[in-house]
Amino acid sequence: MRLSRPFFQLPVLFDVDRLQAEVAALPPEAWVPHPDGLAGNSAARLISAGGGETDSVHGQMLPTPWLAGSPYLRQVLAGFGVVWSRSRLMRLAPGVGVPEHADINYHWHTRVRLHIPVFTRPEVRFHCDGQSVHMAAGEAWIFDNWRRHHVENGAQADRIHLVADTTGTAAFWRFACSEPPPRDQWRTVAWNPAARPRLLTERNARSAVMPAAEVELLVGDLRTEIALAADTPEHRARAARFERLLESFVQDWRQLCALHGVAGEGREAFRELAGAVREAARPLAEGLVMRTNNAGAFLVLEKRVLQHLVAEEAV
């Protein structure tokens, strides 16, 4: 999700000792390798599809056994009053980082990632769009993951953050992005052994076919970001043709939705249109990038839109 600046620190603080005690108590089998195989990166799943050992972002999100055995972590998450999607503890080994990237997948169009550091040291730096911060233990941060960002663990110890994805409520966004009061007036969330808070988790149910209104929203958002890698007549002409292709795609998808609905009838017609747009867009998008993060226009179209147009079955 795009934000108005790279980082926002939320005016709330958590019990570091309790956070660290619960995380340290997790058994070794709670930790699994990063799904992309990044060396030195591992995670413990806290909220996942079905509460299982999966990194899927589709389906009913539920607490895992690791979160069930961590009552303060649950209290921390429930206290924000938002609906949580996939959430994990993410660990970086000493001297390891997360390579620079931008999060362009469909999942991130409407979601932001909350970071609450648990184990960290001043040598750990989070970089986003030319800015760099150290997120201290017990703090809460969000950042604009549409911009290019990376992390460096320059410490001689593991860095572990609680990271949780949400679309957020209006109250959450006011809390997160308004001018904060002085730090000594920030809310502190103490460990409450008697608390049994309700944790809200996402039910990411997809229709078999993406509705026309969502396609129009996603494509329109992409179109506002298109820029030229080099300002040449060829690139300008290609950009104009790419724009026309996207406009036509939205119009034709709307007609197919009007004819078949979005419950799954006429899947083949939808797939044929998506495939035709994919083949036409690939060469036209050469030399076109996203203004904010310089990601390739075709790659964003593919990952944010085309890959998600038709599900094998509704979930």
For 40: left if phi > 0, alpha if psi spans -120 to 50, otherwise beta; the answer is left
Determine the pLDDT at residue 34: 86
Which residues share a beta bridge with 13? Answer: 188
Q: What is the pTM of this model?
A: 0.94
Determine the pLDDT at residue 312: 74
Determine the pLDDT at residue 139: 98
Tokens at residue 194, please?
Answer: 């008697």
Contacts 24+ apart (CB under 8 A), 211-218: 211/257, 211/262, 212/250, 212/253, 212/254, 212/257, 212/258, 215/249, 215/250, 215/253, 215/254, 215/305, 215/309, 216/250, 216/254, 218/106, 218/109, 218/304, 218/305
Please give the Cα distance from 30 to 24 (Å, whole number).
Answer: 11
pLDDT means per 10 residues, the chain with 315 residues, are 96 98 98 88 97 94 97 98 98 95 95 98 98 98 97 97 98 97 96 94 91 98 97 96 98 98 96 98 97 97 97 61
Determine the pLDDT at residue 314: 43
CATH architecture under which domain 7-204 falls: Sandwich (2.60)
> Which ranges in the chain belong to alpha helices (H)?
16-24, 65-68, 71-78, 170-177, 212-225, 233-260, 267-284, 297-304
Please give the Cα distance from 61 to 58 (Å, whole number).
Answer: 8
Domain boundaries, the chain: 7-204, 212-308
